[in-house]
Structure 1
């Protein structure tokens, strides 16, 4: 009969913060890929590499460009990769959330018809970025250790009372 070592068990069991980072990473991958699919992205034939002239709209709501989709794909890869450990997952969610709050503020202050709107962003993107920033930061405070790794109540880390 095969036995599982503690290291192998640790690799297969994820903490809550790791699950959150993995989920966000997977969604970013899906959204990035969906941005390149005609039909899911309306106005696909008008998609530009970057800039506010791109009229492509993911789900008919969120303005996207090739650059915008690539950023989502990269965020997804980073999220999935950093979900491997609790600390890395926490950093992905925390600092990723900070970046999204920065994008939210950036989207609010720029003129959407100027060259400053290089991503591009529209009002729907702005409010989605607020939601992403707030939820990612909040989720970064989830436990970084699994239930099995936590010391039992009233016991030290070696399980002694």
Structure 2
């Protein structure tokens, strides 16, 4: 069984799309943990605020299959393959970790944004504080505690997705 962590984000009809993404993921990963939902400003472009969260689960699916599944769920929820990197998103699902795998294909693992963006790191630290980042060899809690980017504002949203 592989331990996986997936970030969820949306800034287009965000409550609906985050709920749809989470519901779809739970069908494939029924034994899961889900962080609180956080609201953050768009990073890298001017746009509506995002809702973000992180789901943790275990799976027997191979890495490539998990990556394909995430892309399929995005497409089923209005995402198009032509979306620019920094643009509004109906649903953004990013695989953050697949056990301690380090690779660039079929996805960048661990995901580079983990240590750069509060909207990924804080919800991840909430559900996986003792998980060890395979590159830095630090716990997620330690990385979050040392995080310092006052330009990224983030606040918890009281939102029941299920």
Give the shorter-chain TM-score range.
under 0.3
How does the TM-score come out when normalised to structure 1?
0.22
Indicate the structure with greater strand content: 2
Give the alignment's TM-score, normalised by structure 2. Answer: 0.22
Largest Rg, 1 or 2? 1
Higher share in helix: 1
Structure ranking higher on relative contact order (CA contacts 8 Å, 6+ apart): 2
